[in-house]
Structure 1
Amino acid sequence: MLLTDTHTHLYYERDPQKQSELLQRCFDQGIQRLFLPNVDVASIAMINELVERYPENCFAMAGLHPCDVKEDFETVLEEIYTSMAGRKIYAIGEIGIDLYWDKTTLGIQQKAFKEQIKWAKALDLPIVIHCREAFDEVFEVLEAEKDDKLRGILHCFTGNLDQALKAIELGFYLGIGGVVTYKKAGLDEVLKYVPLEHVVLETDSPYLAPVPFRGKPNESSYLVYVARKVAEIYGISVDEIADITTLNSRKIFLV
């Protein structure tokens, strides 16, 4: 069985020994592919370090998280863009719009989002989207930017069926994580109507740990709990879920 965590902040663990243990627990569970979203300038070096240690397992993204979009975002974006030279980048992310914490930055979040979409198109890379309380705003940008180069993942998807189908129509896969195991989330009911060919798995560790670890720090090895729940929803084996969602991840990241 080969599982792929399409979204994990493993690099937040700075202790090399603990980091190694986190990775070993992944490998023990068949989780061999881990994609690392960039969030700010500081995380670039952390991601690079992990990729250098595990080049066959860890894959870098580059991008500015919407919650880190401040008045100086243009300068920050320039630094992140420059950092991509000489590195293998598999996606632009995580990028998008977040209106949960601060609605006053919507304008600059939109500008940063659009600029990074331009990067992705120019570099022929997928984008990985962070969307929190901002589906309408994100879809507005995606509709305006839609063409044959726009593609990627709507990370940590927790929307309704209409939003899921809209994302798929726009050429995006749904990133399904620990929330699918939460009884009142309703994501299981949405997925019943979503073909598995549009789904990838993720943890977003150290956030959003699945049941039975809800409320505790998440880690990529817990992806097996997400896979088991998704297997239950689709009525197929975990091995089949692993095969199909890993294949989907290969189609997105081309690795």
Structure 2
Amino acid sequence: MSKLKTFIDIGANLTDDMYRGVYNGSKKHDPDLASVLDRAWKSGLEKIIITGGNLLDSQKALSLASTDSRLFSTVGCHPTRCNDFLSDPDTYLKCLSNLISDNKGKVIAIGEFGLDYDRLHFCEKDIQCKYFDLQLNLCADHKLPLFLHCRAATDDLINILQKHRDNITGGVVHSFDGSYDALQKILELGFHIGINGCSLRTMESLEVVSKIPKDRLLLETDSPWCEVKATHPGYKHVLTKPSTVKKEKYSQQVNTQVKGRNEPANIIQVLEIVAAIRGDDIGELADIIYENTENLFFNNNK
């Protein structure tokens, strides 16, 4: 990869058990997050935002972020985990708020939160809406951008966001895989769009991504999930293909990736596809996206 390209991964789940060598509760290899991060920095990553999925996960993310000046975190509760609020909503919200207040400079967004109607078996729609709305009260106190999750719920997401519009300081709908109509509604509210492998799974999705305004475009991996797969229609545009090995045979002594486990170094693949389908110069697009990310998340930390 050219050294002229630099990246900020706006969403990486670095606290996931897979980076400890544990897959579905079964240990397959030694923890290797240090190797994952080493590959990231050598691949052009300058910063990585670790996503917090609930209070405990946000605490873990901040603990990890404290180990490196290039690591940052979000704080919030994912829609599929909003049952966490049920026992004592006010206390849970206060704990999230305190975590933000106590880690200024490291917490650069409120989230990951929003709505997910594809996985209602984890958390009912009414509960998701109620506690998404409640978490948006954090905007008034902390003035941070939002890191939003939206699956099959654009209209409800927009309606709830509208109620808090006066207190919202920008944000991104990450891992976007919606329709052109959904894209337009999100853009009209002033938000950015985060693109990863899951955003590029169909020809229809490629068409939508090609129409995102350059000044609203951000990149992410959502690792260890959302890898670019060989079955995806945009894979033909991927030039950077790291060597991989099955998790059962993985060793840190050899600089390979674990097959099927995404990691921040692979953000270049997302850029390669996005630049190709848009017909953009890859270096120029990388620079624009980098500036978009800096302006949204990091200008207040300078």
Note whether the superposition's TM-score is higher than 0.5: yes
Partner of 1:82: 98
Helix, strand or coil at the partner of 1:6 = strand
Which residues of structure 2 form unaligned runs of 5+?
A: 22-29, 233-258
Deviation at 1:213, TM superposition (A): 8.9
Partner of 2:34: 20
Amino acid at match of 2:100: M
Once residues 73 and 202 of structure 1 are traced to their aligned partners in structure 2, the CA distance between those partners, rounded to angstroms, is: 33
Partner of 2:165: 146
Once residues 149 and 80 of structure 1 are traced to their aligned partners in structure 2, the CA distance between those partners, rounded to angstroms, is: 17
Which of 193, 209, 215 is matched with 2:227 structurally?
209
Helix, strand or coil at the partner of 1:53 = coil
CA contact under 8 A between 1:40 and 1:68: conserved in structure 2? yes
What is the root-mean-square deviation of aligned Cα atoms in Å? 2.1
* C-alpha spacing 1:47/1:213, structure 2 compared with 1 (3 Å): farther
Moved more, 65-74 or 91-100: 65-74
Residue 72 (str. 1) matches residue 103 (str. 2): no
Helix, strand or coil at the partner of 2:15 = helix
Which of 147, 156, 166 is matched with 1:137 structurally?
156
Which of 4, 7, 10 is matched with 1:3 structurally?
7
CA contact under 8 A between 2:116 and 2:151: conserved in structure 1? yes
Helix, strand or coil at the partner of 1:153 = strand
**TM-score (structure 2 length as normaliser):** 0.78
Moved more, 85-94 or 207-216: 207-216
CA contact under 8 A between 2:113 and 2:147: conserved in structure 1? yes
Correspondences of 1:92-103 after superposition (within 5 Å): 92-102=110-120
Amino acid at match of 1:66: P
Partner of 1:219: 263
Deviation at 1:105, TM superposition (A): 2.1
Correspondences of 1:219-238 after superposition (within 5 Å): 219-238=263-282
Helix, strand or coil at the partner of 2:193 = strand
CA contact under 8 A between 2:179 and 2:208: conserved in structure 1? yes
Amino acid at match of 2:191: F
Which of 58, 77, 83 is matched with 2:71 structurally?
58
* C-alpha spacing 1:31/1:212, structure 2 compared with 1 (3 Å): farther
Which of 127, 142, 154 is matched with 2:146 structurally?
127
* C-alpha spacing 1:185/1:80, structure 2 compared with 1 (3 Å): farther
Correspondences of 1:113-124 after superposition (within 5 Å): 113-124=132-143
Please give the per-residue CA displacement for 1:16-64, whole angstroms capped at 9, x wherever unaligned: 9511111111112101211112111221332122212212x11111101
Once residues 147 and 78 of structure 1 are traced to their aligned partners in structure 2, the CA distance between those partners, rounded to angstroms, is: 21
Once residues 20 and 102 of structure 1 are traced to their aligned partners in structure 2, the CA distance between those partners, rounded to angstroms, is: 35
Deviation at 1:11, TM superposition (A): 2.1
Correspondences of 1:177-192 after superposition (within 5 Å): 177-182=196-201, 184-192=202-210
Once residues 73 and 227 of structure 1 are traced to their aligned partners in structure 2, the CA distance between those partners, rounded to angstroms, is: 42
CA contact under 8 A between 2:210 and 2:274: conserved in structure 1? no
